[in-house]
Amino acid sequence: MFYEIRTYRLKNGTIPGYLTAVGEEGIAIQKTHLGKLVGYFFSEIGPINEIVHIWAYESLDDREARRARLAADPAWQAFLPRIRDLIEVAENKIMKPAPFFDEGGRAGQ
């Protein structure tokens, strides 16, 4: 399993609007194509104005195919302008779980 961790730093004061847009429309489109959403978070303490979402993929090829389908979806292309200008910085990481991590959620038990 591979995990994609996407972190966006938003413009000051735009988290409520971003979350509204994604909740009303964007997340449904993403879930249709990207599959397993592990988590979707916004910062309260620490670096402010951050959104982090994590997606799980069977392989890097699975991720590539799913992201390509999302990018080609006319509904996603129509949605992007709602959030694009709210994002100042985007960071993307691909992570693999450590061999001892139980992906069922019981790490180290």
The CATH code of the domain that includes 27 is 3.30.70.100
* Domain-located, residue 103: no
Query: Domain range for residue 79?
Result: 2-95
* Domain-located, residue 8: yes
CA 58 to chain centre: 16
Q: Count of domains in the chain? A: 1
* Domain-located, residue 24: yes
pLDDT tens readout for residues 21-77: 999 999 999 999 998 999 999 988 888 899 999 999 999 999 999 999 999 999 999
Give the up-direction half-sphere exposure of residue 9: CA atoms within 13 A in the CB hemisphere: 6
* Domain-located, residue 106: no
Identify which of 1, 2, 6, 58 has the alpha carbon closest to the alpha carbon of residue 27: 6
pLDDT for the residue numbered 45: 87
* Domain-located, residue 14: yes
Residue 10 confidence (pLDDT) above 90: yes
* Domain-located, residue 18: yes
pLDDT for the residue numbered 101: 78
